Chains A and B, each alone.
Chain A
Amino acid sequence: QKEVEQDPGPLSVPEGAIVSLNCTYSNSAFQYFMWYRQYSRKGPELLMYTYSSGNKEDGRFTAQVDKSSKYISLFIRDSQPSDSATYLCAMALIQGAQKLVFGQGTRLTINP
């Protein structure tokens, strides 16, 4: 079983739609959960960061963590064409070097 699983898509939605992106993980010791956005041939850009179960909102973005189900989500409201990118979930342990373990990434296209 992969440590972090993420549907690679591609996912295509119309402008203004609500987008839901998800990851599951197998290591219950993960404590930090992040969502990064990556444009083509660029580095990952941090979008959301959380370390507890529940919801965290930042503008049009909401990150949700359910540690009991080992499931995290990112919701994008009022999606814009500029949101078109690959979205990577990442997680880390609280101990040690805290290296990030990434999902495969979901390629998202928002159609005008």
Chain B
Amino acid sequence: EPEVTQTPSHQVTQMGQEVILRCVPISNHLYFYWYRQILGQKVEFLVSFYNNEISEKSEIFDDQFSVERPDGSNFTLKIRSTKLEDSAMYFCATRSEGRIKNIQYFGAGTRLSVL
């Protein structure tokens, strides 16, 4: 069964450093999302991406965050200068433009630890 692949599974970084989280979507999926889950809290939407541009972003997704699809396969989330409060699980999700709308498939996540 096709799946969304995220790397790395765990990223440890120092506060102020840049990190890039990577996602390989299910092939033929056209809509891409990043969500975040701080330990013990709900899964929160960060950003959606379609047709090579951001279609919607939350208030969490400030200037420190960016997304891109650099090579037509990977979908990345970059955090420019990490803060302690960025420590969380980050999930990539993708969906197709099929008849059944909005079934989003999630990757296993990247656990980001900012020290």
- Are A and B genuine complex partners? yes
Q: What interface size band does chain A fall in?
A: 20 to 34
Q: What interface size band does chain B fall in?
A: 20 to 34
The SS class assigned to the B binding surface is strand
| Total A-B residue contacts, Cβ distance less than 8 Å | 66
A92 is an interface residue with CB less than 8 A from chain B: yes
In the complex the two chains form, is B100's CB within 8 Å of A100's CB? no
Contacts A41-B89, A44-B91 given; indicate if A99 touches B45 (C-beta within 8 A): yes
Chain B residues 44-62 with CB under 8 Å of chain A are 44-45, 48, 50, 55-56, 58
Chain B residues 71-115 with CB under 8 Å of chain A are 89, 91, 93, 95, 100-109, 111
Interface residues, chain B, CB within 8 Å of chain A?
Answer: 4, 6, 31, 33, 35, 41-45, 48, 50, 55-56, 58, 89, 91, 93, 95, 100-109, 111
